Structure 1
Amino acid sequence: MPESVPVRCPACRRERLYTAPRYPCACGAPVEPRLDLHAAPTAVAHRTWEEEWITVRCRSCGRHGQWPRPELGCACGAVLRLPLTDPAEGPAGEATDRGGGGAGEVDTETGDRTGPPADTPEGHPADTGRPTDTPPPSRPPFRPIAVRTARDAVTATALYLRWLGHQDIRRADQRPTSGIGLAARGLLAHVDPSVHPASLRDVECLWLTAMTASADCVYFSLAGYTADARARADSLAVPLFVLDLTGTPQPVNAAAERLDAPDA
């Protein structure tokens, strides 16, 4: 179980307990950012996308994943950013490979080198000796987080995209007129946390932006889609998902069902 730690608000001096969130790594192990108990939290004055995410190394398999930075909302209205102590944790996109050579990380606690095998120059995994006709392992069950805010919707979407195999999730370079854009290699995703169903224009804008970037696209909505939007998405083969309150994306059309299939 994650440890609860006392946190004192620098604005009102109130103290409350905080439990760091645990996120599911692709290997199935829980990933938990390590809090610095000797440093004071700071109040968030303004937000930037780069500061919203941190890179955390899984201590089971050595993978690096990007996760929301730990924050705590105080009753006085201040939003507190919790300090971290793990040297492998830092702003998303920051280089975290301090071992060099690309052969894995060195565990600071055991001294053992961990991490996945290095990739070949062509970007393909190193040969493991397994027959080429060996089927890939099935995906583990998706572990969602509850959606209460727009930020939760973005986090749930990022978790789902990583579950699909996209590990390089980041903020899209071209921001949509509404909602939040996420991007990975060869993929654009639109997260619509509004209370209105996504329209035909919303779907077309995402598709056109993805076409310009030579990428696939997928749409996530909290309020669903209009009939015209669903028909247009079917004709363009755009996967549509509805995020339920548990944070689990539910496929809406055939393109989404194919993407969600266990053997996709």
Structure 2
Amino acid sequence: MESVPLRCPACRRDHAYVTPVYPCPCGEPTAPPLLRGAPVTPITHRTWNDDWVTVRCRGCGRHDQWPQPELCCPCGAVLRVPVRPVASAGAVRPAHIPLPRTAAAPRPAFRPLTIRTARDAVSAAAHYLTWLGFREVTHPANRPASRVDLRAAGLIAQVDSSTRPTALRDVECLWLNALNGSVRGVLFSLAGYAPEARERADALFVPLFVMDLTGSPQPVNGAADELFSTGA
């Protein structure tokens, strides 16, 4: 892990900052490249865009969005640690192509559960995840503060049964919850997704599914296509 010396501009205290490391989907440990010698800046106002940085995986070359490195000084200042900009990837990457299913036995035809209530939507999503091959899919009686509606071995899922398109923040919060638990995060929505939410999900490789009232989830991005193709 990379360590760089930093000085708080508020109290002049010196720190040794260790770069956080995140797992790329390819399995390679990935860390934001710190900009040595550049001064840190106090954070006085937060925006979602400023809280993320682009990081390139050295193993596979993939560009992903990771949390902006920060340091909390004992004096109370929260400092943004400068990151070296990632060079443009050049040509736009082609659309994701789902992998062929490689399971030993094909899945039986999916039998949906009709959705009449918000609880039905959660049950329909749980039924679908079980059909995909996830084991021990459970959902709490009361929705927790994390807004995680379903849990299974190696997976958490959120089910948005509102009448508004699922927002960008929902995608990012689910991804962070999944990252903290070292599991995969999946989103289901009855009203679809805002354009910026779909863009962020594509960048973070979060599977997005949309459901109609018949209870039949449909993949809406490449990560969901792959999950549908390969199963759990």
Structure 1 length-normalised TM: 0.46
| Cα distance in 2 for residues equivalent to 1:207 and 1:158 | 19
Q: Is the 8 A contact 1:139 1:262 kept in 2?
A: no
Q: Is the 8 A contact 1:191 1:221 kept in 2?
A: yes
Q: Is the 8 A contact 2:171 2:200 kept in 1?
A: yes
1:254 corresponds in structure 2 to 222
Whichever residue aligns with residue 246 of structure 1, its letter is: T
Whichever residue aligns with residue 190 of structure 1, its letter is: Q
Q: CA shift at 1:145, angstroms?
A: 1.2
SS of corresponding position for 2:218: strand
Q: In structure 2, do the counterparts of structure 1 residues 157 and 263 end up closer, same or farther at CA, with 3 Å as the change threshold?
A: closer
Q: In structure 2, do the counterparts of structure 1 residues 203 and 135 end up closer, same or farther at CA, with 3 Å as the change threshold?
A: closer
The runs of at least 4 aligned residues of structure 1 exceeding 4 Å deviation read none
1:168 corresponds in structure 2 to 136
| Cα distance in 2 for residues equivalent to 1:139 and 1:214 | 27
| Cα distance in 2 for residues equivalent to 1:195 and 1:246 | 16
Q: Does 1:144 align with 2:112?
A: yes
Q: CA shift at 1:167, angstroms?
A: 2.4
1:94 corresponds in structure 2 to none
Q: CA shift at 1:225, angstroms?
A: 0.4
2:213 corresponds in structure 1 to 245
Whichever residue aligns with residue 258 of structure 1, its letter is: E
Q: Is the 8 A contact 2:132 2:231 kept in 1?
A: no
Q: In structure 2, do the counterparts of structure 1 residues 135 and 227 end up closer, same or farther at CA, with 3 Å as the change threshold?
A: closer
SS of corresponding position for 1:223: coil
Q: Quote the sequence identity (%).
A: 55
| Cα distance in 2 for residues equivalent to 1:258 and 1:141 | 18
Which of the numbers 172, 175, 195 marks the counterpart of 2:163? 195
SS of corresponding position for 1:219: strand
Q: CA shift at 1:152, angstroms?
A: 1.0
| Cα distance in 2 for residues equivalent to 1:135 and 1:256 | 17
Q: Is the 8 A contact 1:183 1:189 kept in 2?
A: yes
Per-residue CA distance 1:144-200 (angstroms, 9 max, x = gap): 01111111101110110100111201136982465x511001101001111111111
1:153 corresponds in structure 2 to 121
2:192 corresponds in structure 1 to 224
Q: Does 1:207 align with 2:202?
A: no
Q: In structure 2, do the counterparts of structure 1 residues 135 and 160 end up closer, same or farther at CA, with 3 Å as the change threshold?
A: closer
Whichever residue aligns with residue 204 of structure 1, its letter is: E
Unpaired stretches in structure 2, ≥5 consecutive residues: 1-101
Q: Is the 8 A contact 1:220 1:242 kept in 2?
A: yes
SS of corresponding position for 1:220: strand
Q: In structure 2, do the counterparts of structure 1 residues 174 and 148 end up closer, same or farther at CA, with 3 Å as the change threshold?
A: closer
| Cα distance in 2 for residues equivalent to 1:162 and 1:207 | 21
Aligned residues: 130
Q: CA shift at 1:262, angstroms?
A: 6.2
Q: Is the 8 A contact 1:138 1:262 kept in 2?
A: no
